[in-house]
Each structure stands twice: as C-alpha cells, then as structure tokens.
C-alpha cells in the first residue's frame, strides 16, 4: 500500500494552507491570501480556491471541466468568500456555480462540472517529442518572481510553490514550461486538480504578446508595450489522471489576438506524454491610448 508523503514546508505549505478553505456555513466558504507584494490577488489562486469550494459540495465525483470569469481585481489584504450554488446532481454528472465575493461584490465567477469515471474512445494530441528534458534545463524564476510589481501574472512572493524549467519552443508551441510542486502531495485527485488550476494561470497571458511581438519583428514592424493586461475568462478540461508533484509540461500557444484581446491555449502533459489537461484563456491586452499610463 502506498504511503502518504510527509509534511510539506515552504511555499508549497503556504499554497496548501491557502487551499484549505474555512467552512462558514452550508455551501459557504472563506479563503485567505498568503502575504504578497502584488496589488491584486493572483488569478490562479482564486480559480483554485473556487474549485476547492465547489469540490467540497460534490464528494462522490471528480471535476472534468470548469469555466470562469475574472470580474474584478481581488484585494490581497481581504479574504474571499465563496458561495456555491448546487445547480444539479445527477447520477453521472453534477454541476456547481461558485461566486467569489469581496466587500459584497463579485470578483470571480466559476461554473464547474463533475462526473463519475466511465469508458470512452481514447485519443489525444501528440506530445511534443522534441521538447527538452527537464533534467537538462536550469531552474527558471522569470516573469516577475524577482519584481512582482512589474508583472502581476507572477506567483506570489517570496517564491513559487513549483519547480519551474523553461524549454525552447517545440512542436508548434510558442512556450514550453515544465513544472512540479516543491514536494510530494497525497494521492488525492481533487487536490492535484486544484493545484493544477492554480498553476494554469502561470505565464499564459504573456504568450499572445510574445507571439505578436515576434511576428511583428519578423515583418519589420515595432510593437509598443501594452497599457493594460488582465485575464478575462478561463476554462479547463481535465482529461486523464495526472500528478502535479511529478514533472508536467505546460505547452502554450496563442491562436489569435485582436480587438483588445488575446487568446491563449495550453496543454498540460505528463512526462510520459499523457495529455492530462487542456486550458483556454482570453485576456484583455490593450495597446496604449491617449491618457493611458503604460503598464510595466
């Protein structure tokens, strides 16, 4: 019989503590934000906490998809109250709606669907076989980890709960990011799904900007830094079992951008090539306008 891992410490312990929501009442939970220098709550944290709240009300099924909207910037100095609406409980599927509230106002809205396992027609997109092995790559601490005020997509300081290694683009993806938690986790698929939801917001929204800048440079055009960047909506589909305490490859691309928005696509593969999760996010990415204070 597999043994449970020992106690975790450091940034991973801080993350797990943040995901251990306080139960206020039936279908009502409260989550705290770890100390941070960021001006707003990291989006992945709100998504993960909302998923924890939804899962608390569905004990017999596992999540297979979620769809969420970031409505307002969250204040990291105040707790977030998560109100769960148990929309439907069926034999195979269950649906929950979760609203994250601060000061009586909605800052986040999530709808998640849960199901029992069953057989199906199994296929997936291919793993990028030419992706560099994480053992051959240095640890990566980019995207605001050292200067979180410059990039609010960064994970909360003082450091990330993940080991991160950036690989060169391959397989048609604009970015390949290896990640795993800094310590072993219990064999609880719900916990792994919630931690993956936290990680899913990592670096994703910068991919449309990098893609546009690279294509503009190739065409001999310049690109002004954006004045405003913020996540709008976020969706995840959970396909197969995975473990976030083992290496996962987050393969990211941007199919399109325009109209002040950028679309991001991410596939999370296990190191064995199994596709565990698909992520789609759209963000507001607005170029400078008269009177704007350019971000960054």
- For 253-293, the pLDDT digits (tens) are 999 999 999 999 999 999 999 999 999 999 998 877 765 54
Query: Is 231 an annotated catalytic residue?
Result: yes
Beta-carbon contacts of 180 under 8 Å, excluding residues fewer than 6 positions away, are 162, 163, 244, 245, 246, 247, 248
> What does the angle CA 237 – CA 239 – CA 240 come to, to the nearest 5 degrees?
145
Query: Is 281 an annotated catalytic residue?
Result: yes
Q: What is the mean pLDDT of each run of 10 residues along the chain (296 residues)?
A: 57 95 98 87 95 96 98 95 97 98 97 96 96 94 44 50 94 95 95 97 89 86 79 96 98 94 97 98 84 46
Catalytic residue among 102, 160, 231, 252: 231
pLDDT at 6: 56
34-62 pLDDT, tens digit each: 888 778 899 999 999 999 999 999 989 99
Q: Can the peptide bond before residue 158 be classed as cis, meaning omega within 30 degrees of 0?
A: yes
pLDDT at 52: 98
Question: Left, alpha or beta for 27 (phi > 0: left; psi -120 to 50: alpha)?
Answer: left
pLDDT at 214: 86
Q: Which domains does the chain have, with CATH numbers?
A: 10-117+137-286 (2.40.160.210)
Quote the pTM value.
Answer: 0.89
Catalytic residue among 102, 151, 201, 257: 201
Handedness of CA 141, 52, 77, 293 (dihedral sign): positive
Structure tokens at 207: 């991919």
Backbone angles phi, psi at 159, to 5 degrees: -160, 170
b/e sequence 107-121, b meaning 16+ C-beta within 10 Å: bbbbbbbbbeeeeee
> Within a 10 A sphere around the Cβ of 65, how many other Cβ atoms?
16
**213 closest CA partner among 202, 226, 203:** 226
Catalytic residue among 49, 200, 254, 281: 281
pLDDT at 104: 94
């Amino acid at each position: 019989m597999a043994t449970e891992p020992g106690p975790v410490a450091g940034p991973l312990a801080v993350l797990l503590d943040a995901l251990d929501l306080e139960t206020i009442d039936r279908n009502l939970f409260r989550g705290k934000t770890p100390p941070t220098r960021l001006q707003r709550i990291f989006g992945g944290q709100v998504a993960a906490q909302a998923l924890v709240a939804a899962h608390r009300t569905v004990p017999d099924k596992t999540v297979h998809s979620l769809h969420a909207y970031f409505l307002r910037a969250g204040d990291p100095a105040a707790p977030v109250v998560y109100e769960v609406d148990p929309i439907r409980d069926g034999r195979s599927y269950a649906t929950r709606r979760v609203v994250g509230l601060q000061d009586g106002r909605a800052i986040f809205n999530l709808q998640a669907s849960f199901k029992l396992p069953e057989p199906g027609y199994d296929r997936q997109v291919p793993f990028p076989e030419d992706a560099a092995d994480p053992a051959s790559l240095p640890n990566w601490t980019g995207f605001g980890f050292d200067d979180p005020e410059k990039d609010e997509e960064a994970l909360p300081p003082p450091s990330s709960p993940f080991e991160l290694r950036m690989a060169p683009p391959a397989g048609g993806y604009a970015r390949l990011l290896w990640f795993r938690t800094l310590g072993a986790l219990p064999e609880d698929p719900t916990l792994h799904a919630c931690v993956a939801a936290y990680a899913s917001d990592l670096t994703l929204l910068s991919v449309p900007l990098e893609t546009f800048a690279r294509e503009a440079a190739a065409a001999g055009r310049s690109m002004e830094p954006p004045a405003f960047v913020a996540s709008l909506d976020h969706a995840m589909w959970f396909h197969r079992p995975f473990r976030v305490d083992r290496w996962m490859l987050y393969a990211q691309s941007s199919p399109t951008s325009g109209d002040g928005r950028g679309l991001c696509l991410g596939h999370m593969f296990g190191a064995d090539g199994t596709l565990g999760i698909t992520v789609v996010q759209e963000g507001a990415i607005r170029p400078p306008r008269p009177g704007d204070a350019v971000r960054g």
